[in-house]
Structure 1
Amino acid sequence: MRVSLLEEHRSELPRPRAGDLPRASPVRVRPVPNPFAVPHAPGLDGLRALAVLAVLAYHLDLTWAGGGFLGVEVFFTLSGFLITQLLSAELRRHGRIGVRAFALARARRLVPALVACVLGTLLLFRLLLPATASGLRGDALSSLFYVQNWHLVLGGVPYAESFERPGPFLHIWSLAVEGQLYVLWPLLFAGVLAVLGRRRAAFAALVLAGVSAVATAWQFDPDASGLAYYATDSRASGFLVGAATALLWTPERWDRPRSAGTRAVYDLVGVAALVALLVGFTVASEFSADLYEHGGFLRTALLTAAVLVAATGAGPAVRGLLSVRLLTAIGRRSYGIYLYHWPILVLTRPGADLPGPVWLVDCGRVLATLLVAEASYRWLETPIRRGAIRRMAQRARLTRLASGAVAAVVAALVVSAVVALTRPAEPTLPLAAPPATTSEAPAPAPTTPPATTPAPAATQPAPTQPTPTQPAPTQPAATGPAYVLGDSIALGSADALTQALGPGTTVDAKVGRQYAGAPAAVRAWAAAHRGPVVVDLGANGTVDAADVEGVITAAGDRPVVLVGVSVPRRWQDPNNRVLRAAAERHAPQVAFVDWAALVARDRSVLGPDGVHPTVRGRTVLATAIRAALPS
């Protein structure tokens, strides 16, 4: 019979004292198992490993890991399951839930590594990027106080649309969601369970999970999905599904004898759910409206629940598959891997920060992440979880009041360190520095052509031609000012587009805009105008072929120009294939501007972020669009 506790929760349950066992015995004395303890299930460690590896692959921008962000939902479900198991054990053992003791146990488990990550990251930024460190104070403090998700919502920070160096604490939003649920759930759990009983409480948790999915759909905006992605209420469904599973799948049922047929059924369901999760890690998209509007996170949580039931004993095959030693070792260190990987990735961008092949740089980044996580697990997290601080306090004979004072002092020191590390750097240039060095922007200005020179088609390379085999006379003629629908690229190029396409051009551009909203925008404009339509979208996320068809349908018989994307993200080539295929199907009405090919010929048309065009690049883009329109 297994009696060891889940690794990360061992410090939360009482330990036998040495005097409780005989000092000498001719036979080995086996401790009596605690019927309310949470047994150690290696399969859960394996599931946790798969989740963190999916997140890591997603943040490395690997082309086959577009849905790796769903690993966070797996973590949410596991957290709800394990925390509810512990709360149930506490309630059955003592008849009450010690909220204070629970909070302290969670703090011992989570806070030390979080503080180390935040302070270490700030120190590195202070040393390597001192000008950037001063802007991290808000992110750092909101991370330490577990409100980073709401800090990002209020700041309007998107999840996956940053082309400059992203914030090093962006990923801590998920820990903030968990921390807030750790505070709310124990306060609700005992009362709900006492009033409704175990089964009805599980049903109530599932209902609340459905409500959370509805909140996600209600809050979703394809052009600003931050609220639906970060908000605690919209991301609580996984945690609540895990909690409901814990109420129904109690530890005493884990190893209950079952017939061969029953075990086969559990294995079949568990394997199917595991395969579905792995497929989701590869094919899902954080830009898909279906994910938010039709319960994508809730579906992921339900699949995770099926896997964890099989992994805790019901399905021997699934349990064995997820209990491989390498997976369990990674799973036990998954918190540190998740915590430290993102700052490391932010500081070591291939091409921008480190030279060499992308695959080689990525291997180094993964190795650095594993080394830092191992050091944290071995010398920081594990000793503190096993009571190192408590033993130190006992040796020093600190009273409870003194211990609280020490904790307050430590917290004050941490906040002071954050303030000190994010203090603006002192200027290094003398006050009398020559004014000529204060600006570099005017340099490219002479390359901007005057308004009377947008037309020379001879300057355009072949890729801008929509379909060379189609005769130009059959193209529809433009009968009014053009309409340009775009994102930040079009927004920054508005002046160049107006010069190239004419003074009546409408540039409807918004930062972070997704393709999903394009059909409706084109339809609304086409209801009152007759000019050609230009759509320059797709840099911020994946493009769905149905949305492109919707744009063409909404344009009616108007000429349409689909502008390709050049963006260092995994969706560049798939998006260009979708746009090019649509142009070929609907030629000559629809033309495709191969912006990626133009950039490949001359990288100087892009700015430092490798996405947004320079002053000359805006002119090149606008002229290519003009050449693709019928004369």
Structure 2
Amino acid sequence: MKKRYITGFDGLRMIGIFAVIFYHIYPSIFKGGYLGVALFFVLSGYLITDLLLKEYKTSGRIDIKAFLLRRLKRLYPNMIVVMLLSTLYMYFFQRNLLNEMRMVFISSIFSVNNWWQIAKGGSYFAKLMAEAPFQHYYSLSIEGQFYLFWPLIVIVLMRVFKRNRTAIFNVLDIVLLLSFLEMTLLFKAGVDPTRIYYGTDTRLFSILMGSALAFIYPSDSAERIKLAKFDRWVFNIVALVTMLVLGICFFFLPDQEWFAYRGGMWLFSFLVCILIAATVHPQLLVNRWLSNPVTAYLGSRSYGMYLWQIPVLTFVELKLAHPKSLPSILLALVILFILTEATYRLVEVPLRRITWQQIRTFYTEKGRRYFLGVKLPITLVTGFVLAVALFLVFTSPDKSKAQNAITDQLKNNEAQMAQQSKNPQPVTTGTPANPEILNKYGISQEDYDAVNQMKVAILGDSMIAMTYNDLSQVFTGAVFDGATGRKPSMGLEMVQETVTQHPEVDHLVIGLGINRNEDQTSLQVSQIDQIMQVAGNRQVYWININLDKSQYYWTDEVNKNLTEADQKYQNFHVIDWYGMTHDKEDQYMTEDMIHPNDQGAIAYTKIIVEALTKK
């Protein structure tokens, strides 16, 4: 039976890939762009199941080996090339991103990347793309697991239920409902939902929705369904409204909103099913709406665009002075399209179409002559480059132990601060200094006494949490509040809470700025102004940041805003951590090149003491 190519599906692919790309570029605008992945899941479930059912209907069997080979040729060459070429780039221009590249590669090859990312505890929703240029590969692994098991499951279902597709549809509905219920039950407000977002079990319902639709509404049967004029008009209206609702979801369904996990993704997937059903039917207008040369071009290259999007956006983000400016975004998109087109023409299409017969022609005399004369030099150079990249992948550093140690220390320190804050007490003066403490931090008895006669609150993000043990040895009577991941937008509430509970505080030491706001902006002048209003006449000492050797780029912007505040307010003072540690990061910082190591924590404490006692 000849397969009908449904051109409108390219339009759906284009919508999906653009939603995902712009979600990563403008997350504050395209709040629901992540749903583009759900669109791909539903569409993939429908297409794969429809293809398998056609084969089963025609021959009474499914050639699983041939199916998997087609999937391998379709997905793996481009995926591997993107990882290897990105590895070469990172080696020469951004080596810190090579961390754990070996596991990224292996987990992606074996289609378990999503579970590996869950196990290592990363967050998809930090939206700091530089943390993981391949974090989006989680979805490829979910689909890879589906491809691996689904053909056999289809065979079993068809035989157990004796080709009763309605019964199979009902069974799949029950399974997808269980998947959705698991997502709903696992979601907890205020808790990072990465585990739910990455899990095969909790995302399976989108794929199964498309699969279930294929059982009761296969594309070949849709062709034979004749619709009256009124019915066509009604269904066209339904399809148009569905497209509008999907568009609204892309803009107004945030990725960590409770509704997304307790009905939103399910509803979105269901609407995609409606749109697929309307696109499949040849008498409806949806296929025409979604079919044109632009959608055909972009839809056919959506896979490559998906692979390249975060690596390109990451590299641009790290190398351009103003990565969020319109010229930078346009440059990133141009690079994305060029790389996508190159790998599409040179890798994806040729290897997808290659056959054993073509391979065997190389063993003929004519084939050998052509190969040696034309393709051998190109093949040798390409093979050498990819081999070098593969070597770099498997020799990439694994800093997971060091990162885990940092995480453990932060958790322990935060737990100690939380214990202190359970029973807030008025700030008191410190106790007499231990000579070992004075010697350790290189401070005088006079300065130690001075800072402990002040009523000090030391507040901020993980920089404060990381150095808490050292700070608390010197600032024995201070109030501490440091939290991992605290954004500048949370600074106002942090200061308000402190001055309310401890009105006697007269010195605020603030370490805030290494993280970005929800809208991906760094510490803003307006946020500093708000905090200064709450601080009133208190002396505010704000510690600037040094992220120059990390994967983050907003050091200059944050420090510039702090310098402006220093000039604007008489009671505002900048503590120059950047000046102390610039070009000395290996001496003062941990593996992440963000937080102070043991020596850095001592220096961090000392520089605060010096700032507060400066004559």
| Amino acid across the alignment from 1:148 | N
The yes-or-no answer on 1:177 pairing with 2:113 is no
> What are structure 1's unaligned runs of at least 5 residues?
1-33, 399-409, 426-444, 458-480, 513-536, 627-631
Compared CA separation, residues 120 and 272, structure 1 to 2 (3 A): same
- Counterpart pick for 1:601 among 562, 572, 585: 562
Map of 2:252 onto structure 1: 283
Map of 2:589 onto structure 1: none
Map of 2:279 onto structure 1: 311
| Amino acid across the alignment from 1:104 | L
Compared CA separation, residues 489 and 321, structure 1 to 2 (3 A): farther
The yes-or-no answer on 1:265 pairing with 2:234 is yes
Say if 1:564 and 1:593, in contact at 8 Å, map to a contact too.
no
Say if 2:301 and 2:341, in contact at 8 Å, map to a contact too.
yes
Most deviating of 133-142 and 571-580: 571-580
What's the offset of the Cα at 1:505?
A: 4.1
- Counterpart pick for 1:331 among 280, 299, 304: 299
What's the offset of the Cα at 1:389?
A: 4.0
- Counterpart pick for 2:59 among 72, 84, 94: 94
The DSSP-based 3-state class of the residue aligned with 1:286 is coil
| Amino acid across the alignment from 2:451 | T
What's the offset of the Cα at 1:594?
A: 11
Map of 1:193 onto structure 2: 158
Distance in 1 (alpha carbons) for counterparts of 2:178 and 2:523: 34
| Amino acid across the alignment from 1:176 | S
Distance in 2 (alpha carbons) for counterparts of 1:217 and 1:579: 35
The yes-or-no answer on 1:157 pairing with 2:122 is yes
The DSSP-based 3-state class of the residue aligned with 1:285 is coil
Map of 1:55 onto structure 2: 20
Compared CA separation, residues 396 and 577, structure 1 to 2 (3 A): same
Compared CA separation, residues 572 and 342, structure 1 to 2 (3 A): closer
Say if 1:143 and 1:169, in contact at 8 Å, map to a contact too.
no
| Amino acid across the alignment from 1:353 | K
- Counterpart pick for 1:379 among 328, 332, 346: 346
Map of 2:395 onto structure 1: 423
Compared CA separation, residues 392 and 491, structure 1 to 2 (3 A): same
- Counterpart pick for 2:179 among 212, 229, 246: 212
The DSSP-based 3-state class of the residue aligned with 1:236 is helix
What's the offset of the Cα at 1:455?
A: 8.8
- Counterpart pick for 1:126 among 71, 88, 91: 91
* 1:502-555 C-alpha deviation (Å, 9 max, x unpaired): 73746474x45xxxxxxxxxxxxxxxxxxxxxxxx446xx99xxxx9xxx9x99
* 1:594-618 C-alpha deviation (Å, 9 max, x unpaired): 9999972338777999998998998
Map of 1:203 onto structure 2: 170
The DSSP-based 3-state class of the residue aligned with 2:200 is coil
Say if 2:133 and 2:310, in contact at 8 Å, map to a contact too.
yes
Distance in 2 (alpha carbons) for counterparts of 1:55 and 1:489: 32
Say if 1:44 and 1:311, in contact at 8 Å, map to a contact too.
yes
- Counterpart pick for 2:216 among 233, 243, 248: 248
Q: What's the Cα RMSD here?
A: 4.7
| Amino acid across the alignment from 1:94 | S
* 1:123-157 C-alpha deviation (Å, 9 max, x unpaired): 22222234543641111221222211111111111
Say if 1:565 and 1:572, in contact at 8 Å, map to a contact too.
no
Map of 2:465 onto structure 1: 491
Compared CA separation, residues 600 and 315, structure 1 to 2 (3 A): farther
**Over 6 Å off, 4+ runs:** 413-416, 445-449, 454-457, 481-484, 499-502, 559-566, 573-580, 592-599, 603-620
Most deviating of 256-265 and 229-238: 256-265
The yes-or-no answer on 1:390 pairing with 2:356 is yes
Say if 2:458 and 2:464, in contact at 8 Å, map to a contact too.
no
> What are structure 2's unaligned runs of at least 5 residues?
365-381, 398-440, 544-556, 565-575, 583-591
Map of 2:551 onto structure 1: none
Aligned pairs for 1:476-515 (under 5 A) are 488=462, 491-492=465-466, 494=468, 503=477, 505=479, 507=481, 509=483, 511-512=484-485
Map of 1:24 onto structure 2: none
What's the offset of the Cα at 1:423?
A: 2.5
Distance in 2 (alpha carbons) for counterparts of 1:248 and 1:578: 57
**Identity across aligned pairs (percent)?**
24
Compared CA separation, residues 370 and 499, structure 1 to 2 (3 A): same
Map of 2:265 onto structure 1: 297
The DSSP-based 3-state class of the residue aligned with 2:125 is coil
* 1:562-613 C-alpha deviation (Å, 9 max, x unpaired): 9997854552679999999x99xx999xxx9999999723387779999989
Say if 1:599 and 1:605, in contact at 8 Å, map to a contact too.
no
- Counterpart pick for 2:102 among 125, 128, 137: 137
| Amino acid across the alignment from 2:148 | V
| Amino acid across the alignment from 1:342 | I
Say if 1:210 and 1:298, in contact at 8 Å, map to a contact too.
no
Distance in 1 (alpha carbons) for counterparts of 2:502 and 2:131: 38
State the TM-score, normalizing by the size of structure 2: 0.67
What's the offset of the Cα at 1:367?
A: 0.6
Compared CA separation, residues 57 and 195, structure 1 to 2 (3 A): same
Map of 2:437 onto structure 1: none
- Counterpart pick for 2:451 among 450, 453, 468: 453
The DSSP-based 3-state class of the residue aligned with 2:117 is helix
The DSSP-based 3-state class of the residue aligned with 2:130 is coil
Distance in 2 (alpha carbons) for counterparts of 1:306 and 1:576: 44
Distance in 2 (alpha carbons) for counterparts of 1:181 and 1:489: 42
Compared CA separation, residues 300 and 483, structure 1 to 2 (3 A): farther
What's the offset of the Cα at 1:228?
A: 1.1
Map of 1:571 onto structure 2: 519
Distance in 2 (alpha carbons) for counterparts of 1:446 and 1:359: 48
What's the offset of the Cα at 1:118?
A: 1.5
Say if 2:34 and 2:255, in contact at 8 Å, map to a contact too.
yes
The DSSP-based 3-state class of the residue aligned with 1:54 is helix
